[in-house]
Amino acid sequence: MTECVDPERAQFEAFKALPRDTPIQMLNLIRLRPLAAYPPDHPNHGQGLTGLEAYRAYGRETAALFARLGGRQVWAGRPETVVTGPPDERWDLAFIAEYPNAGAFLAMVVDPAYREHVKHRTAAVADSRLVRLAPLTPGAGFGE
């Protein structure tokens, strides 16, 4: 199975081609490294930080920008087991982040401060999935 940390160019272009002025939610599935893998030129290189510690640093350092752009976490859960799907698949973190629009998400990922803080995420994550969702009002049945 291919491990994914950052989007491929074609995936990011597909994201940018979707409407930018409607609210979006981003489903995040994260598998952490046992030890963070900071590059040699990063101050945290060789400090023995776990992937979880590095991911928490990413969260702390991006929180103000995320909030300023109107982002908020709307759901979080701790994955326990895969019921349907590859039996060897496992995730350490699962959450949904909501943005007022795709433009806010794009503004975040190109912000110079974010681009520095995201180094913690890159060091922390062994594999991930990021899925853009269009928010719906739940109906009476599943998937409605």
- What CATH number is attached to the domain comprising 93? 3.30.70.100
Q: Report if residue 109 sits inside a domain.
A: yes
Beta strands of the chain (E only): which ranges? 24-32, 72-77, 93-99, 125-133
Q: Report if residue 55 sits inside a domain.
A: yes
Q: Report if residue 10 sits inside a domain.
A: no
How high is the pLDDT of residue 2? 65
Question: For residue 131, how many other CB atoms are within 10 A of its CB?
Answer: 10
Question: For residue 134, is it left (φ>0), alpha (ψ between -120 and 50) or beta?
Answer: beta
Q: Report if residue 43 sits inside a domain.
A: yes
Q: Report if residue 121 sits inside a domain.
A: yes
How high is the pLDDT of residue 103? 95
Domain that holds residue 46: 23-133
Q: Report if residue 7 sits inside a domain.
A: no
Question: What band does 5 get if pLDDT is binned at 50, 70 and 90?
Answer: confident
> What is the C-alpha separation between 106 and 70, in angstroms, rounded?
12
When divided into structural domains, the chain yields a total of 1
pTM as predicted: 0.90
Indicate the SS3 state at residue 35: strand
> What is the C-alpha separation between 108 and 95, in angstroms, rounded?
18
Q: Report if residue 139 sits inside a domain.
A: no
Q: Report if residue 9 sits inside a domain.
A: no
Residue 23 has pLDDT above 60, yes or no: yes
Backbone φ and ψ for 125, nearest 5 degrees, come out as -95, 130
How high is the pLDDT of residue 6? 77
How high is the pLDDT of residue 66? 97
pLDDT one-digit tens code per residue, 67-111:
999 999 999 999 999 999 988 889 999 999 999 999 999 999 999
